[in-house]
Structures are given as C-alpha cells and as structure tokens.
C-alpha cells in the first residue's frame, strides 16, 4: 500500500470530514462545473473554490491540479500528517507549494487512487508502470458487466482497482491480479481506503489464479494491437497483434466455474482478405463456451497508432509511428476492431457462438443487455419455438422505403427497428413481416404458420423449417418476445 493501515484510516477521515466525496464535490461545484472539471476545464471549478476551506483546497489540489500552500494542504489532509502524505507520494513539492503526487478521485461512492493522468503533466512521457485512473475504457467495461450476485469474482489486470470496486457490490469475494507491483500497491490502497478486502495477486495473466475458478471474471487488459513491443504496462501486453485477447479466451475454460461468465474489452485485427468475425470466432472454437462478441468500433491503422502513442505522450516520435505502421502493413492489417467479449461456461455440447457488429448507440447499461442476451439463449435452448406464442417487443417500429410510380408507391425495403434497448434494425421480406405482424400473443407460432401456409400456398412443414431459425433470430435480438414462457 502507499500508506500503512493507520495512514489509510487517517486519509479516509480527512477526506470524509472535508466532504471530499462525489456527493460533497457535486454539491459544492454543481453538476455543470463538476462535469467541466471532468473534461479538464477547471475554470468554473476554480471560481467556486476560492475560499481556503479544506474541501476547496482538496478540489484545487486533486481535481484542478493546482499548486497549494503547504499549510493549507496539511490542514486539508489532517489527521494524516503532511510528512506521511509526502512520504507516500500523495503530494509532492512544486515551486513554493505542493501539488498532487497521485490522482485521488472521488468515484461514485468511493475514492480511486492512481497515477497523475498524463493530461496533468503535458509533454512528460508516462513512466513504464503508469497506473491508469478511471478512464473511458474502464467505464465501458463497468457498464458492460453483468451485475448479478455471484460468490466469486476476478478482476484480471486490476490497475487502480476500479473494476474490483464495482465487483464488490455484487460478489461475495473479489480477487484482483496485476503484472505490475506498482498497480497492486495502488489497488491495495484503493481497497483499504474504501474499507474493502480483496485478494490481490501479482503475476502474468491467469498465472496467479491457476487452478482456481470464478463465477465472474472481468478484464480491461492491455489489449492494444501492435508489434509486441512493451513500453507501457497498462497499454502493451508484450504479445504481438491481438494475441493477448486470444490468450484470454483460451484461459477462460479453466478460469470459469460452471455457469460462470467472463467479460473483457478486446481489440482484434482486421486482416485484408480475412473476415474479422472468423478470426475472433476462431479464438472461441473448441473451448466449449457460449460466446457473444460485439464489435463497437473500427479504427483505421493511422488513427489507431496516433491515438495510442498520444495516450502515453509518445506521439511526437515519428520512428515509433513508422515502425508500428510498417508492422501493420506487413501483417496486412487494414483496421482494428474494438469491442466486448462475453464468454459463458454453459456446459453445452453445442455452445452458441455469435460474433457480430453492434455499432449503434444502445439505451441503458450494456451489462443488462448482455444478461438478457444469454437469458434468451437459455430460453431458446429449452423451448419448442412452434408451440410458443410471441408478441412484438415494446417500441418495435416498421420503416419502409418506397418509390412512387404510376400505380402508386412500390415498397422497396422494409426494416423493423427497436426504438430502445439494443436498437437493432432488421431488414425483412413481406412474409416475415406478415409473421411478425401476427405475433399478438394469442396463438402459437405453429398455428400462425398453418394460416400463412394456406394463404401463401406452401407446405406447412416447409414454412416451419424456414421460419424457425428466423423466429429464433428475432427472439435472440429481442424483436419478438415469448409470451408466458
């Protein structure tokens, strides 16, 4: 830990009594100034913290990255002695005063300790073992995690401990690992400051938990795709290409308890002449796991390399850019996909593996949608689709494109669209539209097909053979909802 237990208790007391909490800061700054400060625009926050009270000092120091007089900092951190705060690196001398030595961020009802973000030290490259605070990727994974009660949870590559904090809200025990000893020191301090106990283990990938199984595993790994050069532990796995993500998938069968779920953020290469979905499905093949992999974004190589070099303040080095892009060229990489991998040890001989684009904005936390997707897979596995009655999902819309002609409008295209949730759109033909339109929950699919078969003069069995997978697909996507099942 950065501080001993007594020091952590004193720090917690200081932060609590000064009201340096998410709620305390929101009340002092108001929503707008707090949001602006989150975007590194400190003007409003500084206007609202001109007094010399303890909260104002802590906000100026840790939120607005200002240099503060030592006496004010000592007062704000009391009962933690200033000497202890300096020794732990929480603050550091700068000019005539003190500035933050760590990122100490109120986050939800917690505090998170991490290294000072690169944006606060412009032009200074991040050191090798830089410990990230709560970033966009951390939040993406936190929102995408299935938050159901579990006995055991693992956060692989915990860093500052942000995922472990969330896991603590619904897991009996939390284990967290990291390759970086520095990261584990920060995670241990984050845990202690928030009164939590995690089993913190050092080591590479799944090695520290070898032989153990978990109900839920989450990871925001160092997924960045490149030649395998590791200059920053938070970003580079040291594995070439997207091998670190393939490795996580391969580790999942031994990490997951029966029925257990693993979720991680991933990058994968788009290789010219190869379908990216085949590449990623290939990682899962033979594991026996159910998988839902969704691609949320695709970056072109130049933008990707510039983004990740800038992330570690390495952007100015043209040789790094060129070496990285040359490697992409040599591997025929014409894009990099970013998304979420969810794996489940369902114990089925015929696991469901779906790898698909889900680029649209979705409503609500993705985690609830992921849980719903797997629930629907379970439903599909356990029910006879023909014996079931269905209804259309709430918020289902039909969009049509039509061309005017002498005899009126000719419909060219019909698309079903969910106006909430995962916001899927499905292009359909008139027969499927007739089927969906008949789904009012009153009769079974089998009975519906019997009527349609007569109307369209086709054999009922032939129609059922064609309709069953279409209906299963529409149920999977939440377009059709089983009634009473």
Ligand X SMILES: C[S@@+](CC[C@H](N)C(=O)[O-])C[C@H]1O[C@@H](n2cnc3c(N)ncnc32)[C@H](O)[C@@H]1O
Contacts to ligand X from residues 387-406, by CB under 6 A: none
Provide, rounded to whole angstroms, the least separation between the CB of residue 408 and ligand X: 56
The span of 43-51, 153-161, 328-336, 344-352 binding ligand X (CB under 6 A) equals 153-161
With 0-12 / 13-18 / 19 or more C-beta atoms within 10 angstroms meaning exposed / middle / buried, residue 399 is exposed
Q: Can you tell me which of 7, 101, 221, 337 binds ligand X, judged by CB under 6 A?
A: 221
Give the span between the Cα atoms of 18 and 24, in whole angstroms. 9
Q: Exactly one of 204, 278, 317, 394 binds ligand X (CB under 6 A); which one?
A: 204
* Helical (H) or strand (E) element with 240: none
Range 172-176, long-range pairs (CB < 8 A, 24+ positions): 173/199, 174/198, 174/199, 175/199, 175/200, 175/201, 175/209, 175/212, 175/214, 176/200, 176/201
| Site string (19-58) toward ligand X, x via CB under 6 A | ----------------------------------------
Q: How far apart are CA 203 and CA 262, in angstroms?
A: 19
CB of 8 to ligand X, least distance (A): 20
Six token digits for residue 25: 């800061």
Q: Is 295 in the site for ligand X (CB under 6 A)?
A: no
Q: How far is the CB of 182 from ligand X (least distance, A)?
A: 8
Distance CA 363, CA 341 (A): 19
Residue 220 is a binding residue for ligand X (CB under 6 A): yes
- Residue 183 or 343 having the CB closest to ligand X: 183
Least separation in angstroms between residue 326's CB and ligand X is 24
| Residue 188 found at the interface with ligand X (CB under 6 A) | no
Residue length of the chain? 485
Among 57, 66, 152, 158, binds ligand X (CB under 6 A): 158
List 21, 57, 65, 163, residue binding ligand X (CB under 6 A): 163
Residue from 42, 111, 234, 283 binding ligand X (CB under 6 A) = 234
List alpha helices for 89-216, DSSP H: 136-144, 162-167, 181-193
Beta carbon of residue 337, minimum distance to ligand X (angstroms, whole number): 17
178 part of the interface to ligand X, by CB under 6 A: yes
Contact status: 180 vs ligand X (CB under 6 A) = yes
183 lies in the site for ligand X, by CB under 6 A: yes
**Size of residue set near ligand X by CB under 6 A:** 22
Q: Cβ(224)–Cβ(235) under 8 Å? A: yes
Among positions 414-473, residues that touch ligand X (CB under 6 A) are: none
Select from 290, 284, 282, 294 the least CA-distant residue to 261: 290
Among 29, 45, 113, 179, binds ligand X (CB under 6 A): 179
Which positions ≥6 away from 295 have C-beta within 8 Å?
A: 268, 276, 337, 338, 339, 355, 356, 357, 358, 359
**Helices vs strands, H then E, count in the chain:** 17, 18
Nearer to ligand X, 22 or 135 (CB): 135
Which of helix, strand or coil describes residue 173? strand
The helix/strand/coil state of 268 is: strand
367 binds ligand X, rule: CB under 6 A: no
| Touching ligand X, residues 251-270 (CB under 6 A) | none
Residue 209 DSSP class: G
Quick one: 180 or 263, whose CB is closer to ligand X?
Answer: 180
Dihedral-angle region of residue 279 (phi above 0 means left; psi in -120 to 50 means alpha; beta otherwise): alpha
Cβ distance to ligand X smaller for residue 178 or 476: 178
Q: How far is the CB of 202 from ligand X (least distance, A)?
A: 9
Cis peptide before 4 (omega within 30 of 0): no
Closer of 63 and 165 to ligand X (Cβ): 165
Q: In the window 54-73, what residues touch ligand X (CB under 6 A)?
A: none
Looking only at residues 75 through 134 of this chain, which bind ligand X when binding is defined by CB under 6 A? 132
Q: Which residues of 303-439 form beta strands (DSSP E)?
A: 333-344, 353-357, 389-392, 396-405, 408-418, 425-428
The nearer residue to ligand X, 105 or 178, going by C-beta atoms, is 178
Residue 116: CA atoms inside 13 Å, Cβ hemisphere, count? 20
Please report, as ranges, the residues that interact with ligand X according to CB under 6 A: 132, 135, 138, 141, 157-159, 162-163, 177-180, 183, 204-205, 220-222, 233-234, 237
């Amino acid at each position: 830990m950065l501080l001993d237990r007594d020091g952590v208790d004193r720090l917690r007391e200081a932060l609590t009594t000064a009201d340096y909490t998410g709620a305390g800061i929101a009340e002092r700054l108001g929503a707008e100034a707090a949001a602006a400060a989150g975007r590194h625009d400190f003007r409003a926050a500084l206007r609202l913290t001109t007094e010399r009270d303890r909260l104002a000092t802590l906000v100026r120091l840790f939120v607005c990255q200002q240099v503060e007089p030592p006496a004010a900092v000592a007062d704000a951190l009391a009962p933690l002695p200033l000497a202890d705060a300096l020794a732990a690196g929480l603050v550091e001398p700068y000019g005539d005063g003190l500035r933050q030595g760590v990122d100490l961020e109120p986050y939800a009802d917690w505090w998170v300790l991490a290294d000072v973000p690169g944006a606060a030290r412009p032009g200074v490259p991040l050191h090798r073992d830089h410990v990230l605070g709560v970033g966009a990727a951390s939040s993406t994974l936190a929102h995408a995690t299935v938050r159901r009660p579990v006995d055991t949870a693992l956060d692989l590559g915990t860093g500052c401990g942000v995922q472990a904090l969330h896991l603590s809200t619904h897991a009996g025990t939390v284990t967290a690992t990291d390759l970086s000893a520095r990261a584990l020191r920060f995670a241990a301090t984050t845990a202690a400051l928030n009164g939590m106990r995690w089993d913190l283990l050092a080591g590479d990938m799944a090695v520290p938990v070898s032989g153990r199984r978990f109900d839920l595993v989450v990871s925001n790994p160092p997924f960045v795709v490149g030649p395998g050069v590791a200059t920053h532990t938070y970003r580079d796995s040291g594995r070439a290409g997207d091998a670190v993500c393939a490795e996580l998938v391969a580790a999942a069968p031994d990490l997951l308890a029966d029925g257990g779920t693993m979720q991680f953020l991933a990058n994968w290469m788009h290789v010219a002449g190869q379908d990216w979905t085949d590449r990623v499905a290939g990682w899962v093949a033979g594991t026996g796991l159910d998988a839902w992999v969704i691609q949320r974004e695709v970056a072109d190589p130049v933008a990707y390399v510039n983004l990740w070099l800038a992330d570690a303040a390495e952007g100015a080095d043209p040789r790094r850019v060129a070496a990285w892009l040359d490697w992409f060229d040599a591997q025929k990489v014409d894009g990099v996909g970013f998304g979420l991998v969810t794996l489940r040890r369902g114990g089925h001989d015929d696991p469901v593996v779906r790898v698909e684009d889900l680029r649209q904005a979705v409503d609500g936390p993705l985690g609830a949608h992921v849980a719903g997707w797997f629930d629907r897979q379970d439903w599909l596995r356990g029910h006879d689709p023909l014996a079931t009655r269905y209804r259309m999902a709430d918020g289902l819309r039909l969009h049509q494109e039509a061309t005017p002609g002498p005899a009126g409008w000719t419909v060219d295209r019909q698309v079903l669209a969910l106006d909430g949730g995962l916001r899927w759109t499905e292009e359909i033909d008139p027969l499927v539209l007739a089927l969906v339109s008949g789904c009012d929950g009153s009769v079974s699919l089998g009975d519906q097909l019997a009527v349609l078969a007569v109307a369209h003069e086709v054999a009922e069995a032939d129609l059922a053979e064609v309709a069953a997978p279409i209906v299963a697909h529409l149920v999977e996507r939440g377009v059709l909802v089983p009634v009473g099942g």
